[in-house]
Amino acid sequence: MALGLTLTLLFFLAVATSVALVGYRTYVRPVRFHERLGAAVMPAQVGQPGGSEVGGRKWVVRVVQQIGEKVPVSPQDVTIARRYLIAAGYRSDTALHVYYGAKIVMAVCFFLASLVLRNYIANPVGSIVIVGAVTALGYFGPNLVLEKIMGRRMESLRFALPDALDLLVVCMEAGLGLDQAIANVSRELKLTHPAVSEELGLVNLEMRAGKSRTEALKNLADRNPEPELRKLVATMIQADRFGTGIAEALRTHSDFLRVRRRQEAEERAAKVGVKLVFPIFFFILPAMLVVAAGPGILQMIQIMIPLMGTVK
């Protein structure tokens, strides 16, 4: 009995020691090493030199990128497309080539699909129109997708601004300067609001690179077409230029954003009744009519059909 307990205890200690060693070498030790090393200045993005995914990039992306490099594009279109890509969060050097390559690939794929669809259309004019319409849809489809992504990112920035401003006010009232407060907020909001954290991190990097605070904030407004963010940048620049209290200005702007968000929510709630008219009319009322009047209609049909036969 004692020998069995001893062997069981030794086996348990061996398993526990093995698990502890594996956990220390796999999880604890790398975490301590990264904490001592410090965080990266800026996370490498996909497609940039030094990124961890450059070697493992899929061949499809490489092919699309090579196709996009051969597309002749005017400088004005390149400027507009790059501005949209930056606003959507794609800042790598290859994003522009991948974007134009995707447009060409989608246009070719949709053109081939339209050639198959035209066989099912008897009208010759309609077959020609369907080819042109489907090909144009494939070429301009990435524009719609990019605008949708940009809109979602701008919405996330707008919803995250009050929390970021509150944290900025807390940091500045605790004794930090505006530059240190921006860097701190960028670190703290990395998980909850990654879009705001990324933008504030870029502002901090530009100031560390030697740009003035005003220029870095103006670049923040130029990168993002969100009106509320532009208003915030204008408020911070004005408060910094005239020497007024930035913390109080940020608190006031945060209260304004929260009131604005509540008003938008109330406006959307007020529009729900009008938006529900058509779904109710086309989907709910027919079902209610079938449930309520269906048995009566069936009974009436059963009674009326024999009567109609006797009349003849």
Confidence band of 54 (pLDDT split at 50, 70, 90): very low
Q: Tell me how far CA of residue 219 lies from CA of 16, 82, 147, 233, in angstroms.
A: 55, 14, 21, 10
| Amino acid at residue number 233 | V
Distance CA(217)–CA(210), nearest Å, equals 13
Residue whose structure tokens are 């053109």: 111
Q: Report how far residue 39's alpha carbon sits from residue 61's, in angstroms, rounded to the nearest whole number.
A: 29
SS (H, E, C) 185-200: HHHHCCCCCHHHHHHH
For the chain, give the percent of residues with pLDDT over 90.
3
Write out pLDDT tens, residues 214-230: 888 888 888 888 888 88
The gap from C-alpha 149 to its chain's centroid, in whole angstroms, comes to 6
Residue 201 pLDDT > 80:
yes
Q: Which residue has the tokens 């904030």?
A: 217
Across the range 261-288, mean pLDDT stands at 87
Residue ranges per structural domain of the chain: 62-152, 155-269
**pLDDT value of residue 29:** 58
Is a pLDDT exceeding 50 seen at residue 51?
Answer: no
- How far apart are alpha carbons 240 and 244 in whole angstroms? 7
Sequence letter at residue 75:
P
165-169, 191-195, 197-201, 307-311: least confidently modelled range: 307-311
pLDDT in tens, 133-168: 888 988 898 899 999 999 999 988 888 888 888 888
- Does residue 21 or residue 224 have the better pLDDT? 224
Q: What integer pLDDT is reported at residue 292 of this predicted model?
A: 87
Q: What one-character-per-residue DSSP string does 17-80 give? A: HHHHHHHIIIIIHHHHHHHHH---SSPPPTTSTT-TTSTT--HHHHHHHHHHHTS---HHHHHH
Distances (CA, A) of 275 to 31, 56, 267: 52, 47, 12
The residue type at 71: V
Q: Provide the percentage of residues in the chain whose pLDDT is more than 70.
A: 85
The domain 155-269 having CATH identifier 3.40.720: the answer here is no
227-242 vs 213-223: helix crossing angle, rounded to 10: 170
The one-character DSSP state at 123 is -
CA–CA separation, 151 vs 226, rounded Å?
Answer: 9
User: What's the rounded Cα separation, in Å, for the pair 45 and 210?
Assistant: 23
The band of 46, judged by pLDDT with boundaries at 50, 70 and 90, is very low
